C-alpha cells in the first residue's frame, strides 16, 4: 500500500491507494451521514472502473471516533467498482465539523464544458449524456432520467472528441424542439439516429416537424405535431420522454415508408409495449422505389 502519513496538532492525514476491502472497513463506521444518492455512486463507480478517476486532493474525512464525516459516496463507489483508487484521508476531525461539509454545488458535465469554452454547454451536456446512454445501454435509456444507466463525464467528453458534429446538432434541432414542444436533448438524440438511418430523410423530417408546412390530413408528421401539442398543454411542458421518443420514432417509421398515420399511441406500464426500432427508408433497404 502506497502511504504517506503526516500529523498536525489536531489530526492526521495520509494519501493511500484505497482498495475495496479498505473502503468496506471504513464504511463499517458510517453511522452518522446523509442519505446515500445511488445515482452518484453509480456514476463514480463507473468512472473508477473505466480508470477515469483522478486524485484531486478532496479528502475522505473521519472523526476522532472513526465515524465517516465526508466521503461515503466515494467509498461506496470504490466497493461497487472493485477498483483501487488514490485518495487523501484525514483522521481526527471534530464531529460537528460535518455541518460545514459539502455545502457547495457539485461540478456537472455542463460546468466542465463551460470551463472548456464550449457554447450552449447545458444543452450540449444533456445531448451528450443521452447519446452516450443510447450507445452504451439501449436507445430508450437516453430518455430515462433514472439512476440505472450511469455515464461519466469522461465518456461524454470522449464521445464529443469522436463526434464533434454534436455541437452543430444542438443548434440544428433547436427550431423543431421549440415549435414541436420537444426537449433539445430528445430531438437531438433522435435526429442523430435518424441521420444514421437516412440523412436526407432526417433533414426533411426535421424541417417539416418544425415548420408544419405542406402537411395534409393523415400525414404522420401532422399527427405528431398535434399529439405533442396536446401533451404539452396537458402536462405543462413536463412529459414522459420515453413516451415522447417512442411516438416520434413511430412517426419516423411511417414517414420513411410513405404511410399515413392518424393516431399515435404507445403503451407505458401495465402491458408495456416494446420500445420501437428506428427503420431505414425503403429504398435504402431495397435499393429502389416500391413498385
Assess contact for 57 and 88: CB atoms under 8 A. Answer: yes
Answer positive or negative: Cα dihedral of 186, 249, 147, 236.
Answer: positive
What gap in Å lies between CA 282 and CA 15, rounded to an integer? 61
Query: Are 202 and 86 in the same domain?
Result: no
Establish if 290 belongs to a structural domain. Answer: no
pTM (predicted TM-score): 0.71
Domain boundary among 64, 99, 134: 99
The answer as to whether 5 is a domain residue is: no
269 domain residue, yes or no? yes
Query: What is the spatial distance between Cα 211 and Cα 13, in angstroms, rounded to a whole number?
Result: 62
Does 117 share its domain with 82?
A: no
- pLDDT for the residue 174: 96
What is residue 24's predicted lDDT score, i.e. its pLDDT? 93
Q: Determine, yes or no, domain membership for 291.
A: no
**Same domain, yes or no: 114 and 171:** yes
Which tens digits make up the pLDDT trace of 7-50?
Answer: 554 668 888 999 999 999 999 988 777 788 888 899 899 999 99
Q: 248 with 137, same domain?
A: yes
Using 70 as the pLDDT threshold, list the residues of the chain that sit under it: 1-11, 96-106, 237, 270, 284-291
Task: Note whether 86 and 131 are same-domain residues.
Answer: no
Tell whether 133 and 262 lie within a shared domain. Answer: yes
Domain span at 274: 109-284
Whether residue 137 is contained in a domain is answered as yes
Count of domains observed in the chain: 2
Question: Are the C-beta atoms of residues 86 and 55 closer than 8 Å to each other?
Answer: yes
Same domain, 72 and 138: no
pLDDT of the residue at 137: 94
Query: 139 and 218: one domain?
Result: yes
In whole angstroms, what is the distance from residue 66 CA to residue 28 CA? 9
Q: Are 37 and 145 members of one domain? A: no
φ and ψ of 164, to 5 deg: -65, -15
Residue 224 lies in a domain: yes
Amino acid at each position: 500500500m502506497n502511504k504517506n502519513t503526516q500529523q498536525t496538532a489536531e489530526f492526521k492525514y495520509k494519501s493511500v491507494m484505497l482498495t475495496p476491502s479498505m473502503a468496506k472497513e471504513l464504511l463499517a463506521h458510517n453511522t452518522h451521514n446523509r442519505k446515500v444518492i445511488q445515482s452518484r455512486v453509480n456514476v463514480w463507480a463507473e468512472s473508477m472502473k473505466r480508470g477515469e478517476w483522478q486524485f484531486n486532493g478532496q479528502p475522505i474525512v473521519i472523526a476522532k471516533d472513526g465515524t465517516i464525516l465526508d466521503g461515503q459516496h466515494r467509498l461506496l463507489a470504490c466497493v461497487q467498482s472493485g477498483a483501487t483508487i488514490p485518495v487523501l484521508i484525514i483522521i481526527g476531525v471534530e464531529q460537528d465539523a460535518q455541518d460545514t461539509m459539502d455545502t457547495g454545488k457539485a461540478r456537472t458535465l455542463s460546468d466542465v464544458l463551460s470551463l472548456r469554452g464550449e457554447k450552449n454547454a447545458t444543452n450540449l451536456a444533456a445531448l451528450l449524456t443521452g447519446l452516450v446512454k443510447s450507445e452504451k445501454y439501449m436507445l430508450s435509456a437516453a430518455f430515462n432520467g433514472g439512476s440505472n444507466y450511469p455515464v461519466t463525464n469522461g465518456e461524454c467528453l470522449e464521445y464529443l472528441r469522436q463526434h464533434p458534429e454534436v455541437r452543430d446538432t444542438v443548434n440544428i434541432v433547436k427550431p423543431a424542439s421549440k415549435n414541436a414542444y420537444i426537449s433539445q436533448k430528445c430531438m437531438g438524440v433522435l435526429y442523430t439516429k435518424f441521420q444514421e438511418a437516412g440523412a436526407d430523410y432526417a433533414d426533411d423530417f426535421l424541417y417539416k416537424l418544425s415548420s408544419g408546412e405542406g402537411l395534409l390530413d393523415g400525414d404522420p408528421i401532422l399527427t405528431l405535431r398535434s399529439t405533442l401539442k396536446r401533451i404539452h398543454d396537458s402536462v405543462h411542458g413536463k412529459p414522459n420522454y420515453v413516451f415522447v421518443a417512442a411516438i416520434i420514432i413511430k412517426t419516423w417509421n411511417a414517414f420513411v415508408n410513405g404511410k399515413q398515420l392518424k393516431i399515435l399511441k404507445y403503451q407505458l406500464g401495465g402491458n408495456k409495449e416494446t420500445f420501437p426500432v428506428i427503420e431505414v427508408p425503403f429504398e435504402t433497404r431495397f435499393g429502389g422505389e416500391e413498385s
